[in-house]
Amino acid sequence: MKRRLSFIFFAMLPLAAVTVAAPPPPPPGAPVVPAAALEIISTDQARVELARVLSYAKRYDEALAEYRTVVVARPADTALRAEYGQVLGWAGRHAEAVAALSAVPAADLSPDAAVLLADLILGDKKFAEAAVLYRRGLAAKPADALTRFKLARVLSWEKHYDDSLVEYRTLLAAAPDDLQVRRHYAQTLGWAGRLEDAAAEWRRTLPAEATP
């Protein structure tokens, strides 16, 4: 019996040695993980990701150089061109940003890019266009109080007072103690000819008079 067990033990040794043997190292430069197991990131996409990281770090000139390389290679990529225009705006290159973003179909602008373009064209008094863009931003982010405030102001400048007042009331419903929003609301009520309502709202924004 001992002889038989000894034979089995020694017979298994080569198998054990094969089982624990380390695989040969891959040749230099060979991928460690098979390509079939990976989500492939193209060179263009890697360049875009680099551009994004650089823009978040406010290294705008470097970011824009990377974006331009990919935009030239993919001129039909409207989402990429919109992103490029947005970074131009962040870099303070407003005229170039307006040109780049305006060349992108409105439907292809991200909500943030739409709001940025609206901000940029206000200087040219393109209030109607800005209002459309602000509404696009709000459709995606209805809780964005700053964009709603901008829309309310633009609508009042366009003399669309009723629409403007609706936006102000939405803001005040969420933040009734916001003094500046209420004062702008009161101002717009006055422009709309609702003088008694305007007076009441102005009073609400002033300190209570001390009782003698």
Reported as a pLDDT band with limits 50, 70 and 90, residue 162 is: very high
Q: pLDDT digit string (tens) for 18-64? A: 455 555 666 666 566 665 557 788 999 999 999 999 999 999 999 99
Q: pLDDT digit string (tens) for 101-154? A: 999 988 889 999 999 999 999 988 999 999 999 999 999 999 999 999 999 999
Residue 105 has what DSSP assignment? -
Domains, the chain, in order of start with CATH, read 43-103 (1.25.40.10)
pTM, two decimal places: 0.74
CA distance 161 to 188: 7
